[in-house]
Structure 1
Amino acid sequence: MIKSVRPLLRGSTYSGALFAYCGALASLPLLPVAMLPTLAWPSAPYGVQLVLTLLLWVVLIGVAGLARTTRRVLIASARRLLRVPLPDPVAARRPASPSGAGPSPTAPAPVPVPAPDPAADRWRTPLWLLLHVALGWAGALVSGLLLLASLTLPLGAEAGLSLFGRSVRVVGGWQSWAVALGCVLPAATVCVVVTNALRWSAPKLLGPSPAEQLALAAERELALAERNRLAHELHDSIGHTLTATTIQAAVAGEVLSADPVAARAALRSIEESARAALEDLDYVLGVLREQEAETAPTRTLADLPELLDRLRHAGAVVEPELSGELTQVQGTLSRAAYRILQEGLTNALRHGAGGPVEVRVAAAADRLELSVVNRTGAGASAGTGAGTGRGAFPTSGHGLPGLAERVRLLHGEIEAGPVGPQHWRLAVRLPVRLPA
């Protein structure tokens, strides 16, 4: 009993009924237009005029439901008044990389998803709008008559009912109050029926079609892939900056009195590194907040000399070996190569045991080869980076796994491991696609 009465006490029931009644009222401006043919044909029988008006009225309501704006308004209203969780309509568009720099080197290739077909699904909105208007008019007429009876009977109005040859008439007194109160419950029940009918039909006719559901899933997949890429970018940039600035600060503290010029150079390098990291952080946070960043920081192989200079200011001895036409490495491959070298050099500083760091970049016609070699210390455990000394990569974290994932998505090869008793080598080979 309590469960059956509970819908009558919910505010959402009456807000849904109000939504239905508003749909009925919104169809009224189309009624004079539907009556124009009957006005132009006054000699037609009354029944023909009525049927012609109703048919044209239905057609006009259906045509109004074809507009995209109509569907958006109906979805927003159903979410608010019917409490139905409906997503916004999916526009047929090709998602673009937020960075504006082309495909992401760490994002998986999107699975081809058929774009939503507006023509195939457009009939659902007019059908729902017709159902909305029909339920609105039926509910408004029935509940309106019942409420009118509940208000007028106690004031002395007469009511009669004839059924199967028997008549019942109510004229004032306590009977009119009883009948008036009895009319309120059916009126509320009509609101429940109308609201539940709209709630049941809204997801089926206003909700996403199967093609739109696939498009929404594809958008969510691309968003997750982009956030994963941003996590890689943030790890590479901030991790490198923190490692380099820590070492540079230690160097500046040691030579502050003996060599002020070197200390100032180290502090200047800290400032430049921090500024570059802040640019990356500002861009990533802007994307995560779904705000469009002003500029996307795109580090490429052209920025490699600046990266090596910062390492030298940190006290590292870097021995670069660059060969081939590096200018032919462009776009995604160049950005990924920079991040790979940055991660390798950062881990060489963080986990290495001093000594020179050999950096090799060789660009051939069909491949790009990258390698970073550094000392690991006499006590390093081969292949693990653990032991009494320090290895080139940590045993946990996102450094080496992130690099492996980046290289895999670029269809390349990666090798990371000890070379001899005291060196660690990171080697990456990536295929090169010449620009057309």
Structure 2
Amino acid sequence: MIRGIRPLLRGSTYAGVLFAYCGALASLPLLPFALLPAVAWRSAPEGVRIVLVLLVWAALVGVVGLARTTRRVLIVSARRLLRVPLPDPVAGRRPASPPGTGPAPAAPVPAVPSGADRWRTPLWLLLHVALGWTGALVSGVLVLMGLVMPGGWLGAEARVSLFGWSVRVTDGWSWAVALGCVLLAAAVCVLVTGTLRWSAPRLLGPSSAERLALAAERELLLAERNRLAHELHDSIGHTLTAATIQAAVAGEVLSADPVAARAALRSIEESARAALEDLDYVLGVLREEEAGAAPTRTLADLPELLDRLRHAGAVVEPELAGELAQVQGTLSRAAYRILQEGLTNALRHGTGGPIEVRVTAASDRLELSVVNRTGARTGTGTGAFPTSGHGLPGLAERVRLLHGEIEAGPDGPQHWRLAVRLPVRLSA
């Protein structure tokens, strides 16, 4: 019994009824246009003219439902008044790919509804208007009957007539019939709200095309977040590793060689400033703010990167071959990040021996290689660093997106080698 009347005690039930009534009222401005054919066809029987008006009125309501703005308004209204979790319509938009963060993802599937999907909103709007008018008329009549029956307030005999059958309501039953009318009116309200709440996800919810577009948009957003995570890992991870080693070197030579200590401190300052630029940009994108231009690091910045490593006390032996200037755009930025990650790993896990860096640019490929000594770390301030374990998987994913090849592993008993081969494309 209590469960049966529980919907009558919920405010959302009557908010849904209000929503249905608003749909009925919103269709009134279309009624004069629906009357025009009946006015023009005066010779038709009255019943035919009434049916014609209703059909034209329904057609006009359906045409209004085809507008995208109508669907957006209906979704927002149903979400607030019916308390139905409806997502916003998806237009197949593509998140902007920040410059300098890697290859652009594939374009999402556009949210182009099929023929059947286009008629879901007009169908729901017609149901909305029909339920609104039905609920308003039936519940209004029942409530009016409940008000006028008790005690013969209008000074007339109370009689209920339906389909040619009528019955006189005596004074002893008038209150019971009045209560029944009120309960029936409340039941109509529950039925109207329940029908609208049940049909809203099915007719206003995302279509199959929109679900595909929504999934593609989520995939693009996730891919962009992953690229930003790579940026943070490559930039901040390298900077912290190099700065830690440089600080240790500066602390040990501060008294014996103040010039070298100052050079190490300047290198720490430059590295930290560059990392802060990267961090500010990434945080701006994550907060959906208007971030400035992305700091781009390319192969042209490789000498500066090698200099920072030398200031940290590392011995770097670069070997550059080919026309590096022909490597541009996404490929150049990715190559810089790959070398940066390889050099960072060499600083973290190497033994302080020479780090061999090879970059070979050919007409059809770009080859990158970083080789360092491995084993128990010795030396000043270069103890083992804790790692997250995301470096090599992140490199492998970046290389895979560029359709390249990667090899990482021991190269003999005392060396570790990272080798990457990337195809060179004219559109890079």
What TM-score does the superposition give when structure 2 sets the normalisation length? 0.89
How far off is 1:101 after superposition? 4.8
Partner SS, residue 362 of structure 1: strand
With over 3 angstroms needed to count, the CA separation of the structure-2 counterparts of 1:160 and 1:333, relative to structure 1, is: same
**Structure 1 residue aligned with 2:312:** 314
What whole-Å deviation, never above 9, does each CA across 1:43-62 have from its counterpart, x for those lacking one? 65433443332222212211
**Structure 2 residue aligned with 1:272:** 270
Structure 1 residue aligned with 2:349, among 348, 351, 354?
Answer: 351
Structure 1 residue aligned with 2:244, among 243, 246, 252?
Answer: 246
Kindly provide the amino acid, as one letter, of the partner of residue 332 in structure 2.
S
Kindly provide the amino acid, as one letter, of the partner of residue 218 in structure 2.
R
Cα RMSD after superposing both structures: 2.7
Q: Is it true that 1:185 corresponds to 2:177 in the alignment?
A: no
Query: How high is the sequence identity, in percent, across the aligned residues?
Result: 81
Q: Is it true that 1:409 corresponds to 2:407 in the alignment?
A: no
How far off is 1:166 after superposition? 6.3
**Structure 2 residue aligned with 1:141:** 137
How far off is 1:199 after superposition? 1.6
Structure 1 residues not aligned, in runs of 5+: 381-388
* Structure 1 CA distance for aligned equivalents of residues 268 and 70 of structure 2: 57
* Structure 2 CA distance for aligned equivalents of residues 301 and 165 of structure 1: 92
**Structure 2 residue aligned with 1:23:** 23
How far off is 1:276 after superposition? 1.9
With over 3 angstroms needed to count, the CA separation of the structure-2 counterparts of 1:147 and 1:261, relative to structure 1, is: farther
* Structure 2 CA distance for aligned equivalents of residues 395 and 350 of structure 1: 9
How far off is 1:349 after superposition? 0.9
With over 3 angstroms needed to count, the CA separation of the structure-2 counterparts of 1:420 and 1:162, relative to structure 1, is: closer
Correspondence 1:11-410 to 2 at 5 A: 11-40=11-40, 45-93=45-93, 95-101=94-100, 104-105=102-103, 110=106, 113=109, 115-117=111-113, 121-154=117-150, 156-157=153-154, 158-162=157-161, 167-170=166-169, 173=171, 175-377=173-375, 379=376, 397-410=389-402
Kindly provide the amino acid, as one letter, of the partner of residue 47 in structure 1.
G
* Structure 1 CA distance for aligned equivalents of residues 138 and 40 of structure 2: 33
With over 3 angstroms needed to count, the CA separation of the structure-2 counterparts of 1:124 and 1:376, relative to structure 1, is: same
| C-alpha contact 1:328 1:434 (8 A) present in aligned 2 | no
With over 3 angstroms needed to count, the CA separation of the structure-2 counterparts of 1:120 and 1:282, relative to structure 1, is: farther
Structure 2 residue aligned with 1:432, among 416, 419, 424?
Answer: 424
What whole-Å deviation, never above 9, does each CA across 1:232-290 have from its counterpart, x for those lacking one? 22111111111011112222222333333333332222222222222222222233233
* Structure 2 CA distance for aligned equivalents of residues 25 and 395 of structure 1: 65
| C-alpha contact 2:359 2:367 (8 A) present in aligned 1 | yes
Kindly provide the amino acid, as one letter, of the partner of residue 86 in structure 1.
L
Structure 2 residues not aligned, in runs of 5+: none
| C-alpha contact 2:92 2:210 (8 A) present in aligned 1 | no
With over 3 angstroms needed to count, the CA separation of the structure-2 counterparts of 1:22 and 1:166, relative to structure 1, is: closer
| C-alpha contact 1:143 1:190 (8 A) present in aligned 2 | yes
* Structure 1 CA distance for aligned equivalents of residues 45 and 110 of structure 2: 51
* Structure 2 CA distance for aligned equivalents of residues 422 and 185 of structure 1: 87
How far off is 1:298 after superposition? 2.5
| C-alpha contact 2:95 2:221 (8 A) present in aligned 1 | no
* Structure 1 CA distance for aligned equivalents of residues 165 and 322 of structure 2: 105
**Structure 2 residue aligned with 1:383:** none
Partner SS, residue 35 of structure 1: helix
What whole-Å deviation, never above 9, does each CA across 1:192-214 have from its counterpart, x for those lacking one? 11111112221221111112111
* Structure 1 CA distance for aligned equivalents of residues 369 and 331 of structure 2: 15
How far off is 1:119 after superposition? 5.6
Partner SS, residue 420 of structure 2: strand
* Structure 2 CA distance for aligned equivalents of residues 417 and 394 of structure 1: 19
* Structure 1 CA distance for aligned equivalents of residues 42 and 320 of structure 2: 92
| C-alpha contact 2:250 2:260 (8 A) present in aligned 1 | yes
What TM-score does the superposition give when structure 1 sets the normalisation length? 0.88
With over 3 angstroms needed to count, the CA separation of the structure-2 counterparts of 1:71 and 1:162, relative to structure 1, is: closer
Count of residue pairs brought into register by the alignment: 421
Partner SS, residue 281 of structure 1: helix
| C-alpha contact 2:95 2:217 (8 A) present in aligned 1 | no
How far off is 1:326 after superposition? 1.0
Kindly provide the amino acid, as one letter, of the partner of residue 152 in structure 1.
V
* Structure 2 CA distance for aligned equivalents of residues 430 and 198 of structure 1: 57
What whole-Å deviation, never above 9, does each CA across 1:345-376 have from its counterpart, x for those lacking one? 11111111112211111101111111111221
Kindly provide the amino acid, as one letter, of the partner of residue 125 in structure 1.
T
Kindly provide the amino acid, as one letter, of the partner of residue 33 in structure 1.
F
**Structure 1 residue aligned with 2:3:** 3
Kindly provide the amino acid, as one letter, of the partner of residue 269 in structure 2.
E
Kindly provide the amino acid, as one letter, of the partner of residue 240 in structure 1.
H
Deviates more, 1:204-213 or 1:47-56: 47-56
With over 3 angstroms needed to count, the CA separation of the structure-2 counterparts of 1:419 and 1:92, relative to structure 1, is: closer
* Structure 2 CA distance for aligned equivalents of residues 236 and 68 of structure 1: 44
| C-alpha contact 2:100 2:295 (8 A) present in aligned 1 | no
What whole-Å deviation, never above 9, does each CA across 1:178-203 have from its counterpart, x for those lacking one? 32222221111111111111122212
How far off is 1:64 after superposition? 1.1
* Structure 1 CA distance for aligned equivalents of residues 42 and 387 of structure 2: 90
With over 3 angstroms needed to count, the CA separation of the structure-2 counterparts of 1:286 and 1:151, relative to structure 1, is: farther
Deviates more, 1:333-342 or 1:410-419: 410-419
* Structure 2 CA distance for aligned equivalents of residues 86 and 7 of structure 1: 21
| C-alpha contact 2:108 2:217 (8 A) present in aligned 1 | no
